[in-house]
Amino acid sequence: MNWRASSLRRLPEMVVATYRRNHLARNSGWVIIATGMNGLLGLGFWAEATHAFSTANVGSASAVLAAMTFASTMAMMGLGTTALQILPRADDETWSTAVNSVVVGGATIGLVAGLVTAAVLPHVSPRLSFANQPQVAVSVVFGTSVLTVATLLDYVFTAERRAHYIVIRGATFGVLKVALLSLLLLLGVRNATLLIAAWVGGSLITSGSTLVWQVRRLGRPHRYGVAGVTTYIRKWLKILILHHMTSLGDVMIPSLMPVLVVARLSSVASAHFYIAWLLASFLLAVSAAVAGNLLAELSYNDEPMARTLRRAARLIAVLLLPPVFVLAIFGRSVLGIFGSTYAAHSYGILLLFVVVAVPDAVTNIYVSVLRVKGEPHKAAAMNFGMATVALVGAWFFMGVFGVAGAAWAWALAQAVGCGYVAVDAHATRGPLAPVSIGASRWVSDGPTAKLGDQERARPMATVDEMHENGTVDRAPNWTPVSEKQ
């Protein structure tokens, strides 16, 4: 009895210790919480919009926002993913330069991508001709830039094992955009233009507060500026491009599919597709969150890669299966929140997305494996191949199955991706050897550097020269730092 009582008293301490030690589970959990919170607040935003605006306005606005998301991904240029591998072992000077490159580079390229998007959108479909209006164009340009910076800062928080900051930023954005939409409705505004403005306004205010408050609380000496940004980008240009191509292929499907549905079918069909995808994003975010944190954790090199991958797979299974069953069983009722037309036309699409969540988890994790093994060219090829299958297939399938054809094409693309994973994994069987990228001055056997209440592990040997194809050399006879010490 005394032993049991002692164990019960120690249980809170054990839980806290496990929470602090298991960085992958903790940070993945925070990212998933952030995604769930963003999703719930997003559902509130769109539920309010679907009851106050026409279905055509909702479809048009969602297509524009999806195009902005895609343009933002175009503008990130691999800066976020590269930061995941560089920041964990960077000294203060390199850390500050990398963060400034993320902010300055993301904002600048985001403005250019926004300008291109604003110019192209009105010509995609007559249903998007309202994007010609000056207020819409301004919202698209600045919204794309701000969204780019906000997303890149999430990578910084993930790399620094401070993923709870992502929750704070996401919650602030979600509350603000719902509040701004409610204000517009009180003023009697009922058009797609102001619906987009509410979304962009919330993002602008949130990103400003993140730059001023959250980044400065990471515990690293930092001053915003442009010094060293050009050199940083030039130094890592090849790896930036490959990471960028991989990320671009990953988001081409969810970002371009609503626009494709508008062009092929109608704004109403796009609304039905978008709301189903919005619900399914809860599922798709699970493996994406774990995969992103997996790359950061493998960059810290705290334990053998195979062990980390097993933990990642178990974590995804535990987190993914419950919401899969919930959405499969109660999805129609949840869709009814948006209106009877969504419950009738979006449920079949939602079920397909539920099925797609499983192969999507496989391909997401394998992308991180390829990146950390120094094979980002394979990751880029796989993601672009899946995007091509999905988008081209959707155009043809929608002519036969209607809007459900877009979801069927997505499922086909994921099946193709899993096929590639099986073939490549079989062809490259052997010990998993992660690769670290970084400046040569990071190499040190000296004391570890502090990051808040977390201690950085001793760096392993880094590689400063890239192959002509943009990959990095595999570390020979690699042994985890945890086994060396």
Tens digit of each residue's pLDDT (9 = 90 or more) over 349-361: 888 888 888 888 8
Q: List all residues 6 or more positions away from 207 whose beta carbon is below 8 Å from its beta carbon.
A: 146, 149, 150, 153
Place of tokens 């998933």: 32
- What is the C-alpha to C-alpha distance for residues 415 and 382, in angstroms, rounded to an integer? 12
The residue that leads in pLDDT, 285 or 114, is 114
Note the pTM of the prediction, 2 decimals.
Answer: 0.65
Judged by average pLDDT, the poorest of 167-171, 291-295, 323-327, 421-425 is 291-295
Place of tokens 């997305």: 353
Per-residue pLDDT for 465 more than 50? no
> Dihedral sign, CA of 423, 426, 430, 431?
positive
Query: Inter-axis angle of helices 79-86 and 267-300, to 10 degrees?
Result: 20
pLDDT for residue 194: 78
Distances (CA, A) of 97 to 40, 125, 312, 440, 459: 35, 42, 31, 15, 19
Question: What's the mean pLDDT in 104-121?
Answer: 89
Average pLDDT value over all residues in the chain: 76
Nearest one of 137, 169, 141, 153 to 71, comparing CA atoms: 141
Cβ atoms within 10 Å of 196's Cβ, excluding its own: 23
Summarised one tens digit per residue, pLDDT across range 358-411 is 888 889 888 888 887 778 888 888 988 999 999 999 999 988 888 888 889 988
Per-residue pLDDT for 412 more than 90? yes
Q: What are phi and psi of 45, to 5 degrees?
A: -60, -50
Determine the number of helices (DSSP H) and then strands (DSSP E) in the chain. 18, 2
- What is the C-alpha to C-alpha distance for residues 76 and 163, in angstroms, rounded to an integer? 19
Summarised one tens digit per residue, pLDDT across range 123-160 is 877 777 777 788 888 888 898 999 899 888 888 888 88
Nearest one of 384, 382, 322, 383 to 354, comparing CA atoms: 322
DSSP-based helix, strand, coil % in the chain, nearest 5? 80, 0, 20
**H helix or E strand, kind and range, residue 100:** helix 92-100
| 438 band by pLDDT with thresholds 50, 70 and 90 | very low
Helix (H, G, I), strand (E, B) or coil at 25: helix
| 22 band by pLDDT with thresholds 50, 70 and 90 | low
Tokens standing for 185? 């409705």
pLDDT for residue 467: 37
| 484 band by pLDDT with thresholds 50, 70 and 90 | very low
Contact 417, 385 (CB under 8 A): yes
The residue that leads in pLDDT, 1 or 94, is 94
Alpha-helical runs (H) found in 211-346? 229-235, 237-264, 267-300, 305-335, 340-345
Q: List all residues 6 or more positions away from 435 whose beta carbon is below 8 Å from its beta carbon.
A: 372, 373, 374, 463, 472, 473, 474, 475
Per-residue pLDDT for 461 more than 80? no
Per-residue pLDDT for 462 more than 60? no
Helix (H, G, I), strand (E, B) or coil at 479: coil
Residue boundaries of the structural domains of the chain: 11-427
| 485 band by pLDDT with thresholds 50, 70 and 90 | very low
Summarised one tens digit per residue, pLDDT across range 225-277 is 888 888 888 888 888 888 888 877 877 777 788 778 888 888 788 888 888 88
Highest-confidence range of 187-191, 201-205, 437-441, by mean pLDDT?
Answer: 201-205
The residue that leads in pLDDT, 73 or 475, is 73
What is the percent of the chain with per-residue pLDDT over 70, rounded to a whole number? 82
- What is the C-alpha to C-alpha distance for residues 41 and 59, in angstroms, rounded to an integer? 19
Cβ atoms within 10 Å of 221's Cβ, excluding its own: 8
Question: What's the mean pLDDT in 194-214?
Answer: 84
pLDDT for residue 474: 33
pLDDT for residue 275: 83
Highest-confidence range of 20-29, 144-153, 299-308, 338-347, by mean pLDDT?
Answer: 144-153
Summarised one tens digit per residue, pLDDT across range 272-322 is 888 888 788 778 778 887 887 777 777 766 567 777 788 888 888 888 888
